[in-house]
Chain A
Amino acid sequence: MYGTVNRQVTDTTDARFRRELDSFFAVTLLNVVVAVPAVGLGMAYVVASVLGTTDAPSSWLRVLAGALALVSFGLGLAWLRSSSHVLRGILLVRRPFRRRRGPPSEEDVTRGIVGMVAHYRENRMTIRRMILVCTVGGFFFLAMGIVSAVEFASFSLAGGSVTVNGFAVLPFALLALGIALVSLLSSYYFTRFSRSWDLRLAGTVRAEERLNRAMEMETE
């Protein structure tokens, strides 16, 4: 009860805006951080598959891993580029709030909201693409992780014990599964973010109609 009342008192527009900005910043930053090993992992797999050094027990498994790696490498690059672009915009909106020591003025918060609205309006399609890339990329990395895990299991089962080569596959599997998890989570959070901001963009259209009416009434 007290928590609800307390939250209502402290949950101002300013606090909500800054919290949302921080949340979006965190998700986008996580995307950039994870996109780098994703690209590296994809490249390592492609090279390993081309050189035939994966030591996969069957050739079809190696071909499959190579194909998945090539696709995930491309997705990783697209993912990194989109995330960096969106992150740059958020950093610009967020900077004045980070530098300020005291609570921001009403004007600063409104400026931040305008900045975020303008940023989302410009990058709406990029964020939609990011949702798609994160979803597709997530499933690709999941597949890569599973293929690597199968390779690891094959090594273990074939020899009756885990070999050095078997252990070499395990980090790849874990890394791919970790990237898949972050990617799918990002897709979920970006979808939620996008849903909120689509509603807000619709709200700005209504606000503009009202502002236009007010301007016309005043000049009459």
Chain B
Amino acid sequence: MRGRRSPYEIYWEILVYCRTPRAFTAVINRCDLNSRTGQEHIAFLVARGYLAVAKDGGKTAYAATDRAGEYIALFTEMYRKLFDTVPGFRL
């Protein structure tokens, strides 16, 4: 059970995981995506230049680019800020 993630949260998970080159099946397994949505998200990130496609023989791997680093940094900053700006809950 992964909850209901937004596309931006899924992009972040894919990009963080692809810091080292990963095969398509590894990405969809790790990020808990079905084949169709995994294909859509990866195609989107490749088209935007956040993922690079590396072909080694018959195998295709996806690796995060430098641009992905900027996305990851901005995402991390904004999500961590959610805990800095909103009054917390505690017993």
Contact = CB atoms under 8 A, between A and B. Distances in A.
B89 A121 contact: no
A211 B82 CA distance: 15
Contact of A192 (B2, B9, B75, B89): B89
Interface of B: 1-6, 8-9, 12-13, 16, 48-49, 67, 70-71, 74-76, 78-91
A214 interface: yes
B78 A211 contact: yes
A192 B83 CA distance: 15
Contacts of B1: 88-89, 92
Interface in A77-93: 88-89, 92
Interface of A: 13, 16-17, 19-20, 23-24, 26-27, 88-89, 92, 106-107, 109-111, 113-115, 117-123, 189, 192-193, 195-197, 199-200, 203-204, 207-208, 210-212, 214-215, 218-219
Instruction: Tell me the interface secondary structure of chain A in the complex.
Output: helix
Nearest to A88: B1
A195 B89 CA distance: 9
A114 B9 contact: yes
Given A19-B88, A114-B13, A122 B79 contact: no
A200 B16 CA distance: 22
A199 B86 contact: yes
A215 to B, nearest CB: 6
Given A110-B76, A192-B89, A199-B86, 4 more contacts: A117-B9, A123-B3, A200-B86, A207-B8
A107 B76 CA distance: 8
B79 A110 contact: yes
A196 B79 contact: no
B12 to A, nearest CB: 7
A121 B76 contact: no
Contacts of B9: 114, 117-118
Contacts of A212: 8
22 contacts: A13-B83, A13-B84, A16-B88, A19-B88, A92-B1, A109-B80, A110-B80, A111-B13, A113-B83, A114-B5, A114-B9, A118-B6, A118-B9, A122-B3, A203-B78, A207-B75, A207-B79, A207-B82, A210-B74, A210-B78, A211-B71, A214-B70
Contacts of A210: 74, 78
B69 to A, nearest CB: 12
A193 B16 CA distance: 29
Nearest to A214: B74
A113 B82 contact: yes
A114 B12 CA distance: 9
Contact of B88 (A20, A92, A204): A20
A218 B48 contact: yes
Contacts of A200: 82-83, 86
